[in-house]
Amino acid sequence: MKKIVILLFIAFSLFVTGQAQTIVYQEDFNSGISSWTVYSSGTATQSWDTTSTHYAFSFDGTPFIITYDWSGITMVEEISSPTFNAATSNPLFLTYEFSFMYQSTALQGLVDVYDGSAWQNVRTFSGTDTVGIDTIDISAYANANMQVRFTASCSGGYNWEHDFMIDNVKVYEMPATAISENDSQPPYPNPSENALTLKDINEADIDFIGIYSVSGDLVKVCEKKTVIDISDLEAGSYILRIIVNGAFTDDMLFIKQ
């Protein structure tokens, strides 16, 4: 068993060494939204546009995009990126900063990606005020004419303000991480049958946990917890990938018994 683990460790080191994070598309909106397309339906107070502050709120002091309404009337406000080529990108991630100010059950914030033939929803905000950095594995939708779209949708009837703010959108491939240079605390126990435990990571800081095959295919998106359930996996070797505070930790190899 020990010999097998060592061989797998070496094989995976060769697989990931030298694979740098490749930025496929990014936008910080510091130069406006001229390259993005805005669709507006209804009578929102503010269609998608840029500002540097909103009620003293700011992501980093630079411009971001925002749409809002003061009356809670019916509205659909969409903003979509230019197309970009992600046909050969795998794994592929979307990350962005967001602020979703929810004031009624009628409001939704939608995040979609274009898969080459149709829009696919990858995140929906509703039900509570939320601010943070979101990271989503969008590998399944990679194509040569990809786009990202953000939508604020309200069915109306509520006299409260709604706000949806976005900044620092980035689509990128796997980062450069070699197990041979791994400085992160490995999950334990390893090998394991039912669960892995992460050390020195706060649950509140976790953006994404994914389990991949050794060939790089996404197997499972896990709950953002420091105890990771692996009981449903088949026995074998896997890669554990964690994003904390918008940044990748090292990829880690583990054995499911």
- DSSP output for 58-76: -SSSS-EEEEEESS---EE
pTM of the model: 0.68
Cis before 191? omega within 30 = yes
Specify the number of domains making up the chain.
2
Report phi then psi at 14, rounded to 5: -65, -35
Q: With respect to residue 184, please indicate whether it lies within any of the assigned structural domains.
A: yes
Structural domain boundaries enclosing 198: 178-256
Any idea what the Cα angle at residue 172 is, between residues 225 and 50, rounded to 5°? 95
Q: What is the pLDDT of residues 199-251, one digit of tens each?
A: 888 888 888 888 887 766 778 888 989 999 999 999 888 888 888 876 766 67
Same domain, 115 and 162: yes
Residue with tokens 């989503």: 136
Which helix (H) or strand (E) segment holds residue 10: the answer is: helix 2-16
Q: With respect to residue 16, please indicate whether it lies within any of the assigned structural domains.
A: no
Same domain, 55 and 124: yes
* Domain end marker among 156, 173, 190: 173
Q: With respect to residue 244, please indicate whether it lies within any of the assigned structural domains.
A: yes
Q: What is the pLDDT of residues 66-92, one digit of tens each?
A: 988 776 677 899 999 999 999 988 888
- C-beta atoms surrounding 47 within 10 Å: 20
